[in-house]
Amino acid sequence: MCDVAPGEVGVGIREQALVLTTSKGLVVITGCAHPGIVNMVRKAREITGEDRVYLVVGGFHLGGEPPSRIESIAKELRRLSVRKVAPCHCSGDEARKVFRQRFGPDYIESGVGTKITLP
């Protein structure tokens, strides 16, 4: 397993993510994803050369976004080969609802104290 910090993403509020390379694909761990969760995932795929994304966990920064925008982001993450999602702190209740519906058993309820075990 290799840990990668993809460098800063975004303009204005810039962020980094921790990217783990696993046999199942990438695990992308975000802070608040101000530059956009889709942009963070794209950058992780770009710098690693890995197309499979096993899990995206962290803040998705979607609190207050309309359901239609959240739906389009969920679809785009699926298109980017994201298998599992675990949105937390700044994702918002509506985003959790949409991702739970769109990812079904591949949705992981997360928050402070959640332990996620990778296969």
- Which of 49, 39, 41 lies closest to 84, judged by CA? 41
Residue 49, in any domain of the structure: yes
What is the domain-level CATH number for residue 43?
3.60.15.10
Residue 115, in any domain of the structure: no
Rounded to two decimals, the pTM is 0.87
How many domains does the chain fold into? 1
Residue 118, in any domain of the structure: no
Residue 112, in any domain of the structure: no
Q: Where are the alpha helices (DSSP H) in the chain?
A: 37-48, 67-79, 93-103
Residue 16, in any domain of the structure: yes
pLDDT grade for 104, boundaries at 50, 70 and 90: very high
Residue 30, in any domain of the structure: yes
Domain, as residue range, for 51: 2-106
Per residue in 3-59, pLDDT (tens digit) is 555 555 555 566 788 999 999 999 999 988 988 999 999 999 999 999 999 999 999
Q: Dig out the tokens for 114 from the structure.
A: 């959640």
What pLDDT score does 15 carry?
Answer: 76
- Which of 57, 44, 118 lies closest to 88, judged by CA? 57
Residue 44, in any domain of the structure: yes
Residue 90, in any domain of the structure: yes
